Structure 1
Amino acid sequence: MIIHPLITRTEDLAALCERLAKSDFISVDTEFMRENTYWPELCLVQIANTEEAAAIDPMAQGIDLSPMLDLLTDNEDVLKVFHAGGQDVEIIYNVTGRTPHPIFDTQIAMMAVSQSEQIGYSNLVESWLGIAVDKGARFTDWSRRPLTERQIEYAIGDVTHLSKIFPKILKRLVKTGRGQWLDQEMEKLADPENYRNDPSQAWKRIKASGRNPAMLGRLKAIAEWREHEAQSKNLPRGRIARDETLADIASHPPKQQADLAKVRGLSQGWKDNEIGKRLMATIERAQPMPDDELPPRVPRGAPLGKEGALVADLLKLLLKIRAREIDVAARLLSRTDELEMLAAGVRKNLAVLQGWRYEVFGRDALDLVEGKLAFAVENGKLKMTHVDDEIAVPLEERAQARE
């Protein structure tokens, strides 16, 4: 494989992307810094196919990233392969307003060919290629220039390894016939809605108890205010104010700016500085949240009841058995909250009762809830067995019969 020197010129990048555009797939990775900024700072982009690999320096003076960004977001003929690519896709979306497509994530794909829930990149490389990845450069400062040879070698290794692993995973998927299982998951990863930053919805990320419209109205207003303050200063939102501080202010709003000095998490300076003024103005303008925006009511106590909770536990056990039997990650088949809803009697809009999930797991899960499936021990192993409706007798009736 040809490894190019660090690309810092537009003409070199354009030539590379022209060649890569003829590939069936390219592997992609990014290095970025976000500890001290609101927006992730893109520091390096690595791209490879089966023949060549390169690292591109987006911080190089005068470089135009358009050839690369067009390849990633506009070329539908080239599959873009990532590993745990959510943050990489987010960064590309922030720069372009578009997401890479079509897309393939090897971490998600591993869930369909093994019981790995969230396999890390190092473990992926070791399991498929038998190579131990040098992690020494992982947490270096990628924004500092010049980059060292070790940093560049480490970064390019991410995509060269990935370009070798992807065909192997694809071959396994074809062999097992599970490729179509991942279509929906990959489309979700590429959905721009996952990365669109709407300040008016920022309040939903903050934990706050209760459904009081006045309190939630304040929370929504000050959460949106914090987003705009953080964006304008390009600082992490937590540097403006922490989530718990906003929740406290929403629940116990200060009557005047001087009271901000008494709020846990705010400094004394807030009692008379400009940012404190803007916060107080936001609180004063806040309106109660309309009924149609209020979060849904959460049932008090155990939402399933004792019997329902037992059924949910049985469903989780069935999920573990099925995942082990067919060697897939349990989370790919169903989420815990879906099993609890199924145990509670919900039948509509559950992914586990639709498509391939229903065929592989959902049908048996439904049979278990309806008493048509039972656990059995065979040769020391726990298995499932279908129960004849005519002989399916509740445990209570069996106990009475024995008496």
Structure 2
Amino acid sequence: MKIHKLITTSDALADLCSRLAKSEFVCVDTEFMRESTYWPELCLIQIADANEAAAIDPKAPDLDLSPLLDLLVDNEDVLKIFHAGGQDVEIIYNLTGKTPHPIFDTQIAMMAISQSEQIGYSNLVESWLGLVIDKGARFTDWSRRPLTERQIEYAIGDVTHLSKIFPKILKRLIKTGRGQWLDAEMERLADPDNYRNDAQNAWLKIKAAGRNPAMLGRLRGLAAWREYEAQDKNIPRGRIARDETLADIASHPPKTQADLAKVRGLSTGWKDNDIGKRLMQTLADAQPLTEAEMPPKAPRGAPLGKEGALVADLLKLLLKIRAREIDVAARLLARSDDLELLAAGVRKGVSVLEGWRFGVFGRDALDLVEGKLAFAVVNGRLKMTHVDELHGDMREANPEGANPEAPAAEQEAGEEE
């Protein structure tokens, strides 16, 4: 494989992208800093196909990234490969307002061919290539220039290894016939709505007790205010105020700006400074949510109760067994919320009862809830079996007609007669 150490000119980047545009796939990774900023600071972009790889310096003076961004978001003929690529996709979205497409994430793909929920990149490389990655450069300051040879080598390795692993994963997916399982997951990763930064909807990500329209209206205003303050200062939103602080203020709004000094999580200086004044103005302007604006209630059926909770636990056990039997990550088959809905009697809108999940797991989950499935220990391993099959096995084990479910005393009495 040809390695281009570091691309810093527009001509070199344009030439590289024109060649990569003819490939079936490209592997992409980024290095960025965001610990002290609101917006992630892009420091390095790595890209590779099966033949060549390069690191691209977005901080290079006058570098035109357009050919690269066009390749990633507009070229539908090239598959874009990431590993745990959510933050990489977010950065590309921030630059272009679009997401890479079509897209493939090797971390998600591993869920369909192993029991790995969130396999890390170093473990992925070790398991597929038998290589141990030097993690020493992982936490270096990628924004500092010049970059060291060690940093560049480490960064390019992320995509050169991935370009060798992807075909192997793809071959395994084809062999198992599980590629279609991942279609929805990959489309979800590429959905621009996941990365669209709408300050007016920021409140939806904050946990708050209760459904009081006035309280939620204040929370909506406070969350949007925090986004604007953080964006303006380019600092993490948590540096303005934590989620729980906003929820507390929305539930118990201070009457005067001086009362902000009593709010846990806020600086006492807010009682008489400009940011405190803006917060109080936000509270004054906040309007209760209308009925149409209220968030939907959680789609739950009747309360589970003790018996329902036990059924949910049995479903989770069934999920573990099935995931082990077919060597797939349990989280890909079903989430805990789905199992609780099923245990509560909900049948509509439950993902395990739809599509491929129904055939792989949902049908058995439904049979368990309806009393058609049981657990049994076979050769020391816990397995699931249908009740009629279990009874048939018991009859074969008791050819004289003894009832295996009857007490021993009753069986002995029958024999004496």
Whether 1:188 aligns to 2:195 is: no
Note the alpha carbon deviations across 1:4-24, whole angstroms, 9 max, x for none: 021111110000000000101
Query: Aligned pair 1:52/2:44, yes or no?
Result: no
The letter for the 2-side match of 1:53 is A
Q: 2:285 maps to which residue? A: 285
Structure 1 stretch displaced more, 176-185 or 205-214:
205-214
Across the aligned residues of Structure 1 and Structure 2, the Cα RMSD in angstroms comes to 2.1
Deviation at residue 308 of structure 1 after TM alignment = 1.0
Amino acid at match of 1:45: I
CA displacement at 1:162 relative to structure 2: 0.2
Q: Distance in 2 between matches of 1:389 and 1:247?
A: 54
**Equivalent AA in structure 1 for residue 334 of structure 2:** S
Change (3 A) 1:390 1:12: closer
Match of 1:110 in 2: 110
| Matched letter for residue 95 of structure 1 | L
Q: Deviations over 1:183-205 (max 9, x none)?
A: 11111110111111111111122
Cα distance, 1:54–1:298 mapped onto 2, change above 3 Å: closer
1:81-96 alignment, distance < 5 Å: 81-96=81-96
Q: Could you list the per-position Cα deviations for residues 56-98 of structure 1 after superposition, in whole angstroms to 9, with x for gaps in the alignment?
A: 0111110010000000000011000000000100110011000
Unaligned runs of 5+ in 2: 393-404, 411-417
* Equivalent position SS for 2:141: coil
- Kept in 2: contact 1:48–1:163 (CA 8 A): yes
Residue 160 of structure 2 corresponds to which residue in structure 1?
Answer: 160
TM-score in terms of structure 1 length: 0.95
**Do the aligned residues in 2 keep the contact of 1:372 with 1:389 (CA within 8 Å)?**
no
Q: Report the alpha carbon displacement of residue 317 of structure 1 after superposing the two structures with TM.
A: 0.8
Distance 2:166 2:391 in 1: 50
Aligned partner of 1:264 in structure 2 is: 264
1:96 & 1:24 partners in 2: Cα distance?
22
**Shift in Å, 1:348:** 0.7
What's the TM-score once normalised by structure 2's chain length?
Answer: 0.91
Report the Cα offset of residue 288 of structure 1.
1.4
Instruction: Please state how far the C-alpha of 1:231 moved relative to its aligned partner.
Output: 1.0
What displacement does 1:295 show? 3.8
Displacement after TM superposition at 1:243 (Å): 1.4
Q: Distance in 2 between matches of 1:161 and 1:110?
A: 15
Bigger-Rg structure (1/2):
2
Map of 1:216-227 to 2, 5 A cutoff?
Answer: 216-227=216-227
Q: Which deviates the most, 367-376 or 97-106?
A: 367-376
Equivalent pair of 1:53/1:156 in contact (CA under 8 Å): yes
Q: State the distance in 1 between where 2:165 and 2:113 align.
A: 13
1:341 and 2:302 correspond: no
Letter in 1 for 2:357: R
**Aligned equivalent of 1:395:** none
| 2:414 equivalent in structure 1 | none
Correspondence for 1:305: 305
Between the two proteins, what is the percent identity of the paired residues? 80
Deviations 1:213-244 (A, max 9, x none): 22111111111111111111111111111112
> 1:269/1:351 Cα in 2 relative to 1: closer, same or farther (>3 Å)?
same
Aligned residue runs from structure 1 range 2-401, under 5 A: 2-297=2-297, 303-388=303-388
Q: Amino acid of the residue matched to residue 252 of structure 1?
A: H
Q: Report how far residue 207 of structure 1 moved.
A: 2.0
Does the CA contact (< 8 Å) of 1:173 and 1:179 recur in 2? yes
Count of residues in correspondence between the two structures: 397
Q: Distance in 1 between matches of 2:95 and 2:18?
A: 21
User: C-alpha deviations, 1:262-287, integer Å up to 9, x for none?
Assistant: 22222222122111111111111111
Q: Distance in 2 between matches of 1:341 and 1:5?
A: 52
Contact 1:111–1:117 (Cα < 8 Å) also in 2: yes
One-letter amino acid of the structure 1 residue matched with residue 365 of structure 2: A
What is the identity, as a one-letter code, of the residue corresponding to 1:160?
T
- Tell me the amino acid that sits aligned with residue 324 of structure 2: R
* Segment drifting more, 198-207 vs 286-295: 286-295
Tell me, in whole angstroms, the C-alpha distance in 1 between the residues paired with 2:30 and 2:177.
Answer: 31
* Offset, 1:399: 8.8
> Secondary structure at 1:388's aligned position in 2?
helix
Separation (CA, whole Å) in 2 of partners of 1:83 and 1:283: 42
Change (3 A) 1:294 1:96: same
Q: CA deviation at 1:307?
A: 1.4
Quick one: distance in 2 between partners of 1:201 and 1:137? 37
2: CA distance, partners of 1:390 / 1:124: 40
Contact 1:28 1:47 in 2 (8 A): yes
